[in-house]
Amino acid sequence: MEPTYRCLIIDDETPAHKALTAHIAKCEELVYSGSAFNGMEALKMLNENSYDIIFLDINMPIISGVELMEMQPNRPLTIITTAYSDFALSAYQNDAIDYLLKPISFEKFLKAIEKAKTYYSGFSLKKENNTKEKVLSCRVNGQITEIPLDDIIYIESLGNYMKLFSSRVNLPIIIYGSLSSVSSELQVNTVVQIHRSFIVNTNKIQNFTSKSLTMINGEVLPVGGIKEKVLGAHRAGIREVILPFENESDVDSAIEKLGLKQVSDDGALLAIIDAILAANQDKVAEYKSGKDKLFGFFVGQTMKESKGSANPNKVNDLLKQRLA
């Protein structure tokens, strides 16, 4: 039985929702699972529900599509749907798997879906094969291939695809998908992410220094610093990173520099909120006259100014106090 994929449409234009909903309805493997008409609504839905594919517009009020991708690095597979070609580079840098220009034909839509399905069928971890080995099952040249974990030397990320180097095969095996996805799949002690672009099998390390590893095939791979380790963990959805005690101060510094620390301090948030309210006195007046929907605008502006680090619950409470 073919798997199904839950789809979320994020776009501020009703015609776009209707067009994408119609395309989704023609595909048996796709399930329409919701619509969001702005970035704030989308963030709420992504945090509260599970989706497999999101169709994301770029040019939206409050929070743009690119900003949403930056705020949600560990999100479902993302297909950009927009009328503008200017943001393709930013989209792909944030791991979008396709970039569709409106109006979107059903043929182009199907090609994007096939690409998404390739990502999902690209790899999976099986506890054992017929010889009782743990294996990574991946699609190679359209065929499912099982690679014993013990044979993996390392995996290198190259944007939307990866190269897997094996001790049994001379040439690298191409796997579509992201390094964070395969990293979360390979929850075994011998497979470790050493850099934002590399996962290695620790049993295949020939030599090492504080800055590099030499693998058994002779390749020398860089070892990322504390900053890269913390960022890599954040992108993969990992909330706990174990590092040597002497790196404790480095970790705190890295979290601060990367903007990963959630801001809950009233003083810091009020400074942002007060500046936003002062710059939007007309909207403050409209809100107080009864236009309650503008509250979402103020929340969105606060989240944008804090680069997604503000505690949403605290932002809501403080805005209600200031706008009372």
In the numeric block, which tokens belong to residue 124? Answer: 């999976």
What fold is seen in the domain 5-121? Rossmann fold (3.40.50)
Between CA 225 and CA 4 the distance in angstroms is 39
Structural contact between residues 306 and 50, judged by C-beta atoms closer than 8 angstroms = no
Structural contact between residues 20 and 65, judged by C-beta atoms closer than 8 angstroms = no
- What's the number of CA atoms in the CB half-sphere (13 Å) around residue 301? 19
Say what percent of the chain tops pLDDT 70.
Answer: 73
State the burial class of residue 137 (Cβ atoms within 10 Å of its Cβ: 0-12, 13-18, 19+).
middle
Single out the residue of 257, 265, 253, 256 nearest to residue 310, CA to CA: 265
- C-alpha torsion sign, points 66, 67, 71, 72: negative
**CATH 1.10.10.410 residue ranges in the chain?**
266-323
CATH of domain 123-219: 2.40.50.1020
- C-alpha torsion sign, points 201, 138, 176, 125: negative
Single out the residue of 126, 100, 120, 125 nearest to residue 111, CA to CA: 100
Q: How many C-beta neighbours within 10 Å does residue 89 have?
A: 9
Distance in Å from the first CA to the final CA of the chain? 55
Single out the residue of 179, 146, 159, 163 nearest to residue 215, CA to CA: 163
Between CA 224 and CA 230 the distance in angstroms is 10
Domain 266-323 sits in CATH 3.30.950.10: no
DSSP 150: G
Each residue's pLDDT, cut to its tens digit, for the chain (324 residues) gives 567 889 999 999 999 999 999 999 999 999 999 999 998 899 889 888 888 899 999 999 888 999 998 888 768 889 999 998 888 888 888 878 899 999 999 999 999 998 887 666 555 555 455 556 677 776 655 456 778 888 999 999 876 678 889 988 777 887 766 676 676 666 666 788 888 788 888 888 888 776 788 899 999 998 876 545 554 554 445 555 555 444 444 445 544 544 445 556 788 889 999 999 999 999 999 999 988 878 888 887 887 787 667 777 788 889 999 998
Between CA 119 and CA 97 the distance in angstroms is 9
**CATH 3.40.50.2300 residue ranges in the chain?**
5-121
pLDDT in tens, 98-150: 999 999 999 999 999 988 876 665 555 554 555 566 777 766 554 567 788 88
- What's the number of CA atoms in the CB half-sphere (13 Å) around residue 70? 16
Q: Is 146 helix (H, G, I), strand (E, B) or coil?
A: strand
**CATH 2.40.50.1020 residue ranges in the chain?**
123-219
Write phi, then psi, for 212 (nearest 5 degrees).
-155, 160
- What pLDDT does 207 receive? 83
Per-state percent for the chain, helix, strand, coil, to nearest 5: 40, 25, 35
Between CA 131 and CA 101 the distance in angstroms is 48
Instruction: Please state, rounded to an integer, the average pLDDT across all residues of the chain.
Output: 79
Strands 5-10 and 30-36: parallel
Query: Would you state the torsion angle of the CA atoms of residues 219, 223, 228, 230, taken in this order, to the nearest 10 degrees?
Result: 120
DSSP 248: H
Angle formed by the axes of helices 281-288 and 312-323, to 10°?
80
Please name the residues in contact with 27: beta carbons below 8 A apart, sequence gap of 6 or more: 110, 113
- What pLDDT does 248 receive? 47
